[in-house]
Structure formats: C-alpha cells, structure tokens
A and B are shown apart, each in its own frame.
Chain A
Amino acid sequence: MRYLRLLGVFLKSNLLLELEYRANFLTQSLLGVFWASISFAGISIFYTQTDQIGGWSYGQALLIVALFTFLDGLLNFLMRPNTERIVTMVREGTMDFVLTKPANSQFLATLRHMRYAGLSDMLAGAAIFAFAGTQLALAPRWEHVLQFAVMLISAVLLIYSIWVAMASLSFWFVRIENIAELFSVFFETARFPISTFGGLLRFILTFVVPIAFMTTFPAQAVLGMLEPHWLLSAPLVAAAMLWLTHRLWRFAVLHYSSASS
C-alpha cells in the first residue's frame, strides 16, 4: 500500500516536472509518434517485396512492430530516465540519499523518474496494434487474451529485471549507459519475429538476451500460435529473473562504498 502511494507521488511529481518543460514534452511526444510512423512505414515497405518474413504475414508482423513500439515507449517512460539518474548519482555520490531513505532502495532508484513523452510511443504502439487487429480481422478467444496478458506482463517484468541488473552493475562500472546502448542494439531485433533469424543468433535472442519473450511470444499468444511450454516458462523465467536481479541489487548495495565520503 505504502509503495503504491509512493508510486502515485512519483507519477505526480514527474508530471509536474514535465509541465514545467512543455515545449520539450511536446517535441519529444511528437518525436515518439514520428518514430512509430517510421517503423510502420518501414515494415510496410518490407512487405511490398514479400508476403512473409520468417513465416509471418503483414498483419502478424504489424503486431510485433506494435509490441516493439509499446515496449520501446515503456523504456523511454521508465527505464531510460532512471538509468541516467543512477549513473549520475553513483558518479556524484548522491546515491547515499537514496540508500538512506526509509524505503526499498531498488524501488526508489529504479521507479523514481518518469518521462511522460514515452507514453506517446506506447499509445502509438496501441494504435498500430489496433490497426493490425483490423488487418487480421483478429477476434481472439478469451483464453488467448489471457495468454497474451500473461506473456506481456512477463515481458515487462523481464525488461525491468534486465534494467535492475544494469543498475546494479553501475555500482562497479559507473558508465552503464554504455551497456544500456548495447542492450538497445539487441532490442532492435525485437522489431521482427524471432523466426527471421537463424541458428546461433536465434538461440542467443531466445535464451541469452531474451528478445523473443518480449515481442514474438506475446504476439503468438494473441494469435493463438504460442507453444504451450513458453506459456509456462515465461512467467517462471520472469519471476526468477526478478528475484535474482533483486538479490544482485542487494549485493551491489552492500558492497557499495560511497563516492563522496
């Protein structure tokens, strides 16, 4: 309860901050929609030359682009702004103020900052999803909607866990925006169904950097094409990652000797 209230306070304070810089908010929001349009136009041009990529039709691939845009918006809304702050805090020694506050430090460090312009990508993602739905005349059965919800929540938790891991590493390496940049390169492959890639890369994108869990599996779920074992393993993997990265964060904080004192 207390944490929900805190989250509400964060949401509000960030909104107030955003309203101070309205021009910036507006251009960043427009930019989000613009990038989504580029993704949309890009995939559409791909499909003028072919009727399948990795066995996925145009409408199906649009679902993947929609999920990619949505999750990228989430990264812009929540993950990237907090990463930037963590790097600054570790470098300038102000992390101490976070660690000494009477609340969970991981919560305070990773969910404190939001950039509302990220919502524009998320909305654009939802719009592309709706368009893909009409293209496919999508009428999923309720159990597929449920599967989709499970897979999408797992995807979000996985992304969050990866971000907690990177935040933890910042205590040792400080400049984690570089690792974040590397992750972003991998994340770009999430624009396409995982079956587009062959051999080793597909293995890596499924089991090492779990990109397949982020867009391909949720899209398969809503299409009713998901292999049942992923439905079981995705929430388990997400939960395990969440727990492991939380332990990593605790370990990192325990071994952190402040920069200032």
Chain B
Amino acid sequence: MLRIYATLLRMGWAIVMEYRAQIVIWMTNSLLTIVFMLVWLSISRDGPINGYESADFVAYFIVAWVVRNFTAVWASWELDYAIREGRLSPMLLRPLHPIHHEIAINWAEKGIRLFLVLPLAALGLVIWPEAAARLDWSLLNIALFVVSLALAWLILFMSDYLLGILAFWTTQATAFVQGFFGLRLLLSGTVMPLAMFPAALQQVLRYTPFPYMLHFSVDIAMGRVRGEELLIGLTLQLAWALTCTALVHLLWRAAIRSYSAVGA
C-alpha cells in the first residue's frame, strides 16, 4: 500500500502542478475567513464578547484559516464529473478503489496550499504577538492539534465523498455538496467561534459532525478545551470520522451494484 501511495502521490503532484494557478485562485475563496475576522474585530472593539477579546479573534481566525485550507476537499466534484462523463468505468477496472486516487490528489494539493498558507499564517502571528500568545504552544498540545486536524480532514473528505457518491443516482449531487458547504460554513465555526451561538444550540451542535470539521481543532490550538472535555471531544471526532468512512464504504457498495456505465 505504501508503494502504491508513493506512486499515486507522484501522479497527484503532477496533476495539481498543472493546475497550480487555479488552486491559488480557489484559495482566495478562503480569504473570506479574514473578512469575518475583520467583522468580529469591529464588533469586539468595545470589549470582549463571550470570552473572546480582539487578540482571541485574530488567533481564532488565523488558525481557522490554516485548518480550512488543510481540510479543503473537492473530491465530490471530480466523482460527479467522472460518473456523468462515463470516465469512472476504466477506474473501476483497476484493482484499487478510486477513492485512493482522490486522496492522493487531495494530499498533493495540500502541499501547494500549505506552502502558501503556513508562512502567511506565521507572518500574521508575528504581526500580532498578542494573538500568538493566545495559542497553547506546548508540545503535547501541538500533537493533539495535529491528531484532531487529521481527524477533521477525514470527516470532511469522507462526508464530501459521500455526497459525491449520490451522483450515481442523481444528476444534482453537486447541489447537495453546495448546500452542505453552506451549512458547514455556519455550523463548523468558519464564520464565527461557536461560543457566539446561543447556548442551547451549542449543546446540540456538540453531537453533530460540524464542530469537529474545524472549530474543535481551533479550540485545541487555543488551549480552550482541556481534560475530560478534550477526551470526550476527541472521541466524538473519531466516532464521526469512522462513521463517515463506514458510510462511504456501504454507500459505495450499493452504488456499484446499481451502476451501469454511460458511454463506451
């Protein structure tokens, strides 16, 4: 499997290098995070809001921006296209699940994104030292952050792929992807820390996958979840990652059984 992935990653790298300009353009979309940071800075000018001061908002949105770029996925669009154009059939003949191909492309793309995002985020933290001070830099915490980041990626990738599989049955799969994206922007903490939500809603959200796509990882980086709460959070995050993966597995099997190719 390792050798296969080494080859897949090389292929993925070749593909994303061809689209590098395009990827940078798509990344500008994540600059929205900065817009929302500015809005919250404007709101918090007169004092902290629900435990967030200006520096907290800066730290929150800088980390959120990194997480968002790290977890960016568009596999569903590729899958939808492959199914509609009949390009999936040759991929099904290979002795390897097509999802591995998408994972490799996704990771190669991450290389390009992080190459740009990490230095810019670091620059942001240098410019706002108070924001950097709001992050927990202990080694253990960094390790926990990396683990939750990996799980967040898994949740996002698998849920996105899940919606892509819908293209086996409907031509409107990408509409579901877009709708899900809208929901995610709001509920994962991309436009505001979830602490800004009404308390009852926060309680409900804790058990949905949304906070674990972004907010939970940022919370860890800022040292805002600790002890038991942290363990429960990581467990729920892992549970959602496994659930999404299992659902992809099940739905894919059902899809392949009902699939009849279009074209030659």
Contact = CB atoms under 8 A, between A and B. Distances in A.
Interface of A: 23-24, 27-28, 30-31, 34-35, 38, 41-42, 45-46, 48-50, 53-54, 178, 181-182, 184-185, 188-189, 192, 196-198, 201
A182 B25 contact: yes
Interface hub of B29, B179, B182, B185 (most chain A Cβ within 10 A): B182
- A-B pairs with lowest CB-CB distance, top 7: A27-B175, A27-B172, A178-B25, A38-B182, A196-B42, A50-B43, A49-B49
A30 B178 CA distance: 11
B91 interface: no
B39 interface: yes
A216 B48 CA distance: 27
Contacts of A189: 35
Interface in B14-34: 21-22, 25-26, 28-29, 31-32
Given A45-B198, A46-B39, 14 more contacts: A24-B171, A30-B175, A34-B182, A38-B183, A38-B186, A42-B191, A49-B196, A50-B43, A181-B28, A185-B29, A185-B31, A185-B32, A188-B32, A201-B38
Interface residues of B, number: 29
Interface in B88-102: none
Contacts of A45: 186, 192, 196-198
Contacts of A185: 28-29, 31-32, 35
B172 A48 contact: no
Nearest to A179: B25
B163 to A, nearest CB: 13
Nearest to B170: A23
Contacts of A31: 175, 178-179
Interface string B247-262: 0000000000000000
Interface of B: 21-22, 25-26, 28-29, 31-32, 35, 38-39, 42-43, 49-50, 171-172, 175, 178-179, 182-183, 185-186, 191-192, 196-198
Contacts of B198: 45, 48
A49 B171 contact: no
A30 B43 CA distance: 32
Nearest to B46: A50
A28 B178 CA distance: 10
A211 to B, nearest CB: 11
Given A49-B50, A49-B196, A198 B42 contact: yes
Contacts of A197: 38, 42
B42 A54 contact: yes
Nearest to B201: A45
Contacts of B42: 53-54, 196-198
B34 to A, nearest CB: 9
Contacts of B25: 178, 181-182
A201 B39 CA distance: 12
B29 A181 contact: yes
Contacts of A41: 186
